[in-house]
Structure 1
Amino acid sequence: MPEAQMQIEGIGLSFGGVRALSGITFNIYPSTIQAIIGPNGAGKTSMLNCISGLYKPQQGQIRFEGQNLIGRAPHEIARLGIARSFQNIELFRHMTVVDNLMLGRHVHMRGGVLTGGLYWGPGQREEIAHREAVEQVIDLLEIQSIRKKTVGSLSYGLQKRVELGRALAMHPRLLLLDEPMAGMNSEEKEDMARFILDISEEQRTTIVLIEHDMGVVMDISDNVAVLEFGQLIAYGTPAEVKANPAVIAAYLGQEHS
């Protein structure tokens, strides 16, 4: 087994008297698809928010490639190579697809106002490099035909694809996807699952995925972490998790010890 790319150790998160996460510990390995599943309110999005810096847990550590993430601001974590898509679409609806994807490059933009304004020398070279990176994302996600369209005019499924593209435009080493297939029909889900597999296999990007569709999770994930009431009740391969009595009980609504 390779060395873990991310180590999550003993994460505890509370809001007032409400315990959202309690003692969460598991590893995420390079170039794998790691699913986080569980019933509604289990703490899945809270876990992603701790990784991306939106929440600061009161206990535990999160280390990414040797760097401690606890206490870092979201933009600092993004600069370390961690990108995020959200449960609710967070795109600029009045801007084009290409312009939204270019915004995903912001963490890599180093040209100052002066060089960017003059558009010569380093500013021009940087712009060309960012445009090339965006073109690669457009090709990968097969969105050439909508590149000039405003995001607000697109179907829900295509908007979700563009949001994945914006996160991917960062060229992250770890990609956090919060329900990327929510609200999609079966054809759109199949497309999204294929794109996620392509990103994992072709770009060797590590993916952490929250998803409710168990069929998709079991088909594309390398490892699955199962949360219930803010606690980790199972971790392993899809086959191991599917056979775990605690997981079966959680999803069937039965009590388990």
Structure 2
Amino acid sequence: MLEVRDVHLSFGGIKALQGVSFAAKPGEITGVIGPNGAGKTSLFNAISGFYQPDRGQVFFGGNDISHLSPDRRAEMGIARTFQNIALFRGMTVLDNIKLGGHTRLRTGLWSALSYFGPARREELELRREIEEKVIDFLEIDHIRKYPITILPYGLQKRVELGRALAMQPRVLLLDEPVAGMNREETADMARFILDVQEQFGITVLLVEHDMHMVMDICSHIVVLNFGQQIASGTPAEVSGDPGVIEAYLGAAA
């Protein structure tokens, strides 16, 4: 479903990614881990189109998308969340999630300006679909009319996941989905990620520092360190890899 081939990315003299290659299998959860500064978010930005790699290719469904813009990749079915919450703070939960469906709207400019006929029907259908399939799924119906600014951090992260799901993605990129959450919020988010994979068949690629969650829900893990890929395999294989142990705990350990 998603393949990264020999991707290199640098910023001046800083080499953020050096020859990273892996594949995310359809319908599975793949984790990307590594210490701070390993290049995990840079990798996500290269996959989603925010950064253009110096060298290498990104394939989606067998097609080379390396030179496509972020909005074109979103239309094809790549959705993402962000390490730092990127919601529109002056809007409600429902309106934030509805924005995720913009790539699927086909109403023309003049119809949208008048907001009659096809434009109105299309938006009402989108709202009904989101309320039934996304808001109910994430168990946030009771806050759908609340402004984002009054919600606790954990619920805001859940809303951001909802906005990505409203795109009906084929691949979902989750950048530190449980960062800053307490134990209960982390368990809830892990459950939702598993349900996304199992119920919708979406291929999930996630970056996360919570090793317990990564080892529990991922079928395959890629490990980065200083921009280089140092390991790739099942959770059991990766957790016992000497290079991974050294990167996280130091050579003495």
TM-score bracket for the superposition, by shorter chain length: over 0.9
TM-score normalized by the length of structure 2 = 0.96
2:108 is aligned with 1:112: yes
Q: Which stretch shows the higher mean deviation, 46-55 or 118-127? A: 118-127
Q: Determine the structure 2 residue equivalent to 1:247.
A: 244
The superposition leaves residues 46-78 of structure 1 with CA deviations (integer Å, 9 ceiling, x where unpaired) of 000000000000111111012212121111111
* Partner SS for 2:136: helix
1:137 pairs, out of 117, 134, 159, with 134
Aligned residues between the structures: 252
Q: Determine the structure 1 residue equivalent to 2:77.
A: 81
1:180 maps to amino acid: P
2:228 is aligned with 1:226: no
Q: Unpaired segments of 5 or more residues in structure 2?
A: none
TM-score normalized by the length of structure 1 = 0.95
Q: Determine the structure 2 residue equivalent to 1:235.
A: 232
Q: Determine the structure 1 residue equivalent to 2:67.
A: 71
The superposition leaves residues 136-193 of structure 1 with CA deviations (integer Å, 9 ceiling, x where unpaired) of 1001100001000000110011001101110111010000000010000000000000
2:53 is aligned with 1:34: no
* Partner SS for 1:12: strand
Q: Determine the structure 1 residue equivalent to 2:159.
A: 162
For the residues of structure 1 that align with 2:105 and 2:246, how far apart are their CA atoms? Answer: 49
* Partner SS for 1:105: helix
2:195 pairs, out of 195, 198, 214, with 198
For the residues of structure 1 that align with 2:83 and 2:228, how far apart are their CA atoms? Answer: 21
Q: Determine the structure 2 residue equivalent to 1:103.
A: 99
For the residues of structure 2 that align with 1:197 and 1:6, how far apart are their CA atoms? Answer: 19
Q: CA RMSD in A?
A: 1.3
CA apart distance, 1:7: 1.6
CA apart distance, 1:125: 3.0
Q: Determine the structure 2 residue equivalent to 1:210.
A: 207
For the residues of structure 2 that align with 1:223 and 1:64, how far apart are their CA atoms? Answer: 18
For the residues of structure 1 that align with 2:2 and 2:161, how far apart are their CA atoms? Answer: 21
User: What is the percentage of aligned positions where both structures have the same residue?
Assistant: 56
Q: Determine the structure 2 residue equivalent to 1:176.
A: 173
Q: Determine the structure 1 residue equivalent to 2:5.
A: 9
1:219 maps to amino acid: D
2:102 maps to amino acid: H
